[in-house]
A and B are shown apart, each in its own frame.
Chain A
């Protein structure tokens, strides 16, 4: 009975999403206040039913209701409760419901925290969000009902895919989706502005924290995914340029461009068309990611079961949302464009370079991802371009970004003195070059990537530190570090850590596949890895063979690692669990291969990965920066101004004084 109620709740949510989409948009166009006022209650009502549906599906999992086909396919009576909980979004149907749930929560937040904005504008924003919600609800009900019954009722479920039975994966999809869905807010703002025919700089200011938060969640989601891939897939890699990874990376790249472009539009009034376009692209690429993962068009390690019906639906929806919004853009953008002139050397220019490079990188990733399809369409055969293409192109495109990054904060808006900025940054450049030279002299024979990583990381990190220092010296107390600025500094520090991690790990990690008999050891650098044999271990829903590997430095044991090879009881899937000893400067990583020979010997894969943690540490700092910047009170302070367009806010608006006027948070 309950599952049917869940489906019924989804149908009611669908009807409310139609109300939320159609009536407020009509109201805003015709100036009907009653229709405009419907937007917020419709959002709240829809959220209630979506939450109810999600709760019912969760309950079906926790109570082991195998009469629900989705539960039977993705759970099992032996599955621990926390995985039963995360299994709710372990496959296509449930993860779609999670998407819808997060969209409902974002919509409620937007409705609640936007009372300071004009009602007709908000009616359009909520109407656009309603349309997106409508599309996803219809998709769920027509092609992917999570509440469908299994007849006959199986005695037990098949089990959650063992790859997904992992703590990192519990949080990965919710964070990722929060990021994807978060871009819908910036998107809805852009469409609402285009429909209304005016882009008020105040609205851009209001939408900035939303974009920052969405971007921060997406950063965290991608980092979690990468971290999970690193320790579960047993390959020791952290990024594979897999179509599904790319699907999440493209919106991130465009989102990164968007948060910078929004800053320009808000502070200087420039880049308006660009900001609108990037807002549309960021969300469109989120939708495209959904399409790629669920349509079966591209094969990937984590694509969902393919179904052409689903593919056609998403493509139609994609065409409606993206095609429609780009058409609106083409028709209406000339009305809202405009901005302030700026000199060739100015902060605007470097941010424009940032925007162009990130947009090109996203286009490059898109091209590479769709390349197999393109090859097929042009009858060249299904060719994949793979990591060499992505790696080369991405480094090429990011090179100017890394070189110019420290200049950004030092250059003033409108026009700046390049020489002053260069003088200020000279120490960073000197240290970066010296450190690379020193590393080369001391260690000798280091690959160029390691040297480049050291230099680039120091250049960016010290450049930002120098800016923080000059801010401390020259800005009046109290205005030295606004949250917005702290967030910027923090995120850019994250870039420095990330660069160090990526380039050093790429250049200097050691990977060895060895055959080890019990008590035999292998030396890697100053470390000895001793294989102490394999014994059986029992998990809640699997049996494992667990290896014991001691790592010795001289005579001292510095780690004992227990990699496992698990066989899941129910669906007989085999899963390799690598064991690792994390460290700030190096990870030791061991995975079991296959038993070889009769003497108890195993194929063992051993990795030593210097600085690999810095990759995720950098990503975490970027995420943290996004949240800190979003917390700036300035964004929630909307000066009541009659003039609706054109006048940009002053470059450095006073933070104190104007208090919390209009703030609802």
Chain B
């Protein structure tokens, strides 16, 4: 073999290794912390409504219908990225969209929703963040899909994208509705 081809061969090996690295890091999301709650019943909770703190909404009220729980906060910049997508595409899901206002000042949260729009069917406020611990929330935004029997079917960390809606959420929602029928 021509010795002058050796550098090229060496580089090709390194390039293959780097290609492997890209493949590996894209198929192993470092953010993908598998939630132990998947396919387990959602924690029971009862939280005040953001709009009317005297009223509460709990897991019992939501039972029977699938819903999407979206963790957000006015202090969370990534939520601002996610927000227009929920505004635009939230209705496409065809299920109840529950806003979970996480460790937020109620006034700030109300102002935020007034400014950017309110995509949610109902918003509950977890100011102390205790229910969030039961759900295993690591930060905002995070999204949980809960089915009609109150079981968590899917969890997504970081802003929802149209792709996630199409590829992950809609098929699961369709399956739930099929099963219910």
The verdict on A297 contacting B18 (CB below 8 Å), with A151-B84, A323-B11 known, is: yes
Q: A345 within 8 Å of B by Cβ?
A: no
Contact between chains at A315 and B17 (CB < 8 Å):
no
Q: A311 within 8 Å of B by Cβ?
A: yes
Bound Cα distance A152, B117 (Å): 11
Contact between chains at A330 and B5 (CB < 8 Å):
yes
Which stretch (B19-27, B40-48, B64-72, B165-173) binds chain A?
B19-27
Contact between chains at B4 and A315 (CB < 8 Å):
no
Contact between chains at B22 and A311 (CB < 8 Å):
yes
Q: B2 within 8 Å of A by Cβ?
A: yes
Which stretch (A26-34, A255-263, A371-379) binds chain B?
A371-379
* 1/0 contact string of A114-154 vs chain B (CB within 8 Å): 00000000000000000000000000000000000001101
Closest to A277 in B: B7
The verdict on A373 contacting B11 (CB below 8 Å), with A295-B22, A299-B30 known, is: no
Bound Cα distance A288, B22 (Å): 14
Q: B8 within 8 Å of A by Cβ?
A: yes
Main secondary structure of the interface of B (DSSP, over half): helix
Nearest Cβ on chain A to B77's Cβ, whole angstroms: 5
Residue of B2, B12, B21, B30 touching A295 (CB-CB under 8 A) = B21
Q: B127 within 8 Å of A by Cβ?
A: no
* 1/0 contact string of A257-282 vs chain B (CB within 8 Å): 00000000000000001000100110
The verdict on A326 contacting B8 (CB below 8 Å), with A297-B18, A315-B19, A373-B20 known, is: yes
Q: A385 within 8 Å of B by Cβ?
A: no
Nearest Cβ on chain B to A418's Cβ, whole angstroms: 31
Contact between chains at B8 and A296 (CB < 8 Å):
no
Main secondary structure of the interface of A (DSSP, over half): helix
Residue among B8, B17, B21 facing the most chain A CB atoms (10 A cut-off): B21
Q: Please count how many residues in chain B sit with their CB below 8 Å of the partner chain's CB atoms.
A: 23
Nearest Cβ on chain B to A290's Cβ, whole angstroms: 12
Bound Cα distance A128, B14 (Å): 23
Q: A318 within 8 Å of B by Cβ?
A: yes
Contact between chains at A152 and B22 (CB < 8 Å):
no
Closest to A312 in B: B22
Bound Cα distance A315, B21 (Å): 11
Interface residues of A (CB under 8 A from B): 73, 151-152, 154, 158, 273, 277, 280-281, 284, 288, 291, 295-299, 306, 308, 311-312, 315, 318-319, 322-323, 326-327, 329-330, 333-334, 366, 370, 373-374, 376-377
Task: Give 24 A-B contacts (CB < 8 Å), ordered by A residue.
Answer: A73-B77, A152-B80, A152-B116, A158-B77, A281-B7, A284-B11, A295-B21, A295-B25, A296-B25, A306-B25, A308-B22, A308-B26, A311-B21, A311-B25, A312-B22, A315-B19, A323-B8, A326-B7, A326-B11, A330-B2, A373-B17, A373-B18, A374-B17, A376-B21
Which A-B residue pairs are the 6 nearest by beta carbons? A297-B21, A308-B26, A326-B8, A311-B22, A330-B4, A330-B5
